[in-house]
Chain A
Amino acid sequence: MSALTFTLKHRPDQRVDLSPLVCHNLAGKEIAEIAALELQSGKAKLRVDSLFKISGNDPQNIVIKNSFGKLDFIGKDLHGGSIRVEGDAGAYLGMGMQSGSIRVTGNAGLYAACEMKKGTIEIDGNTGDFLGGALPGNKMGMKGGLILVKGNVGERAGDHMRRGTILIEGNAGDYCGSRMTAGTIAVMGQVGRYAGYAMRRGTLLLWNQPQLSATFNDCGAHTLGFLPILFASFKNLNTRFADAAVAFNRVRRYAGDMAETGRGEVLVKL
């Protein structure tokens, strides 16, 4: 069995909703059936084979080649299996994902991994705003799983995040971890202004001192026993976070956001 591969033949002008091309939806379908599936693109519906050359036969292992930033909803509600995106992904990558894994070799757009429940999303490039966040009007963002971004992320990463882990090797924009209810966001690079804005619980683990709001209170320097366990859990990941040399357990702890319940924390490496 070889990976079910969708190679983009040309770049459409309109954005395309790729949500039907997920493993659990394609399982048991013949290539002809898959080719006849319709994808929403603006007002039009496009057959899959009008956009993609299809090859391979393993629907649990999907590859999207020549991908670009207008292919939205890749891996939406993915329930098992893996998707590899060669190139950029559009908005809502892995939205509501329930299990499985997604790997993007390029960048991802807005709302990547928003409201994901479980599984792993790995993005080699940068992502847009609201990574792992909640859709507008919703109260819960990411509820579990792991997001790994090797580049930079936009604003409001982890907005309304409920559980799970976001690892960012690069920089994070403003309002990182805003309105977080729980979970862990680790940022190796710089974070923008208003980190942890209105966070209730959860942990922002930072390599560099951020400019924190006045509503975060300094609790002093500490050696925390859970950090070695947290870092050990990254050791099998394809990331700099897996490197034992980057691990630390000595941090300065800021409690906040005191404008909320104040039970969240920003931990800054010492």
Chain B
Amino acid sequence: MIINGVTIDATFAEAFPMKATRAIITAQNEKWAMISAQAMTGFATSVIACGCEAGIERVLDPSETPDGRPGVSIMIFAMGGKGLAKQLETRAGQCVLTSPTSALFAGIDGGKPIPLGKNLRYFGDGFQVSKVIGGKRYWRIPVMDGEFLTEATTGQVDAVGGGNFLVLAESQPQALAACEAAIEAMRKVPNVIMPFPGGVVRSGSKVGSKYKALGASTNDAFCPTLKGMTKTELSPEIESVMEIVIDGLTKEDIDKAMRVGIQAVCDLGAANGIKRISAGNYGGKLGPFHFHLQEIMA
């Protein structure tokens, strides 16, 4: 398949089941909601070493937030419910509770509820106040700037993590420009996050390593500087490869995000140095979710 001069490989991305949750951070203005959200979703690019994958889903209008203030919706993905709960609570405590004027609310229903502010309330040292409003429990925790308001729990749902595609370009600036265009389009898709820095990862990995201590190592088949010394996947004109990883609530959400992302890359086309779109997989044996690029773009 070729779109605007860009070859779409006959391959697929392989993704895994994860647990996900969503939270809504509000603040006096969008600036401070975003600061808090960026802190909360920081150092959360990959479950390999971060414990979770997290990202900002979108900015919320005051009419969309529970307290009528500007807000930001964030999502966190982890391999299991316990890990998810731990990451959520730690991040909420260190990054939202601490952030001026912030408040924190559940962003998703369903599944077994996991603590949002349920345990953070003990920071209130006995001065915390519970309020049940409309069947939901909120905690009001006295803090130095006033009160930190947080919902007690949020939901957790089954989700999909690890959807991806690779952008193969003639130069590094062209690969990055294409990925930036893709991310801009994909951020408009609900229920997905792209957890890597700016949504783009330049160090895609393969399973295993020559070093026994490492479970993953650089994806040498896609490293352009190794073209002459490894079993490469790259043709001579490819000088740079970048990857976009997508976590979503459902397979369909990831499908949609991949479609708009790949389309944005293809819109730049061969004229802007984009040669191929490929994807990362493990032979289809590890992850139950397969995203076939040509089917998605059909």
Contact = CB atoms under 8 A, between A and B. Distances in A.
Interface in B44-69: 66-69
B196 interface: no
Given A222-B146, A222-B147, A223-B146, A228 B132 contact: no
B133 interface: yes
A224 B138 CA distance: 13
Contacts of B134: 233
Question: Chain B interface secondary structure, helix, strand, loop or mixed?
Answer: strand
Interface in A195-241: 201, 203, 222-226, 228-230, 232-233
Contacts of B149: 225-226, 229
Interface residues of A, number: 17
Contacts of B147: 222, 224-226
A265 B69 CA distance: 25
Interface string A142-182: 00000000000000000000010000000000000000001
A230 B131 contact: yes
Nearest to B140: A226
A163 B66 CA distance: 22
B130 interface: yes
A15 interface: no
B129 A229 contact: no
A184 B130 CA distance: 11
A226 B132 contact: no
A228 B62 CA distance: 12
B131 A184 contact: yes
A143 to B, nearest CB: 11
B157 to A, nearest CB: 24
B131 A226 contact: yes
A225 B149 CA distance: 7
Contacts of A265: 129
Interface string B222-258: 0000000000000000000000000000000000000
A163 B135 CA distance: 11
Contact of B133 (A182, A201, A222, A233): A233
B138 A229 contact: yes
B103 interface: yes
Contacts of A203: 129, 131
B13 to A, nearest CB: 41
Nearest to A262: B127
A91 to B, nearest CB: 28
Interface in B101-133: 103, 126-127, 129-133
A226 B138 CA distance: 8
Nearest to A253: B147
Nearest to B105: A229
Nearest to A227: B67
Interface string A240-270: 0000000000000000000000010100000
Given A222-B146, A222-B147, A233-B134, A228 B129 contact: no
Nearest to A223: B146
Contacts of B103: 225
Contacts of A228: 67-68
Contacts of B132: 163
Nearest to A225: B149
A263 B127 CA distance: 7
Count chain A CB atoms within 10 A of each CB in B127, B130, B133 and give the residue with the most.
Answer: B133
A232 B182 CA distance: 39
Q: Which of B66, B69, B134, B146: most chain A CB closer than 10 A? A: B134
A243 B126 CA distance: 34
B146 A229 contact: no
A225 B33 CA distance: 14
A265 B140 CA distance: 12
Interface string B143-183: 00011010000000000000000000000000000000000
Given A201-B129, A263-B129, A229 B140 contact: no
Interface of B: 66-69, 103, 126-127, 129-134, 138, 140, 146-147, 149
List the 6 closest pairs (A to B, CB-CB), nearest first.
Answer: A225-B149, A233-B134, A233-B133, A228-B68, A228-B67, A225-B103
Given A222-B147, A230-B133, 10 more contacts: A163-B132, A182-B130, A222-B146, A224-B140, A225-B103, A225-B146, A225-B149, A226-B140, A229-B149, A232-B66
18 contacts: A163-B132, A182-B130, A184-B131, A225-B140, A225-B146, A225-B149, A226-B133, A226-B138, A226-B140, A226-B147, A226-B149, A229-B66, A229-B67, A229-B149, A230-B133, A232-B66, A232-B68, A233-B134
Interface of A: 163, 182, 184, 201, 203, 222-226, 228-230, 232-233, 263, 265
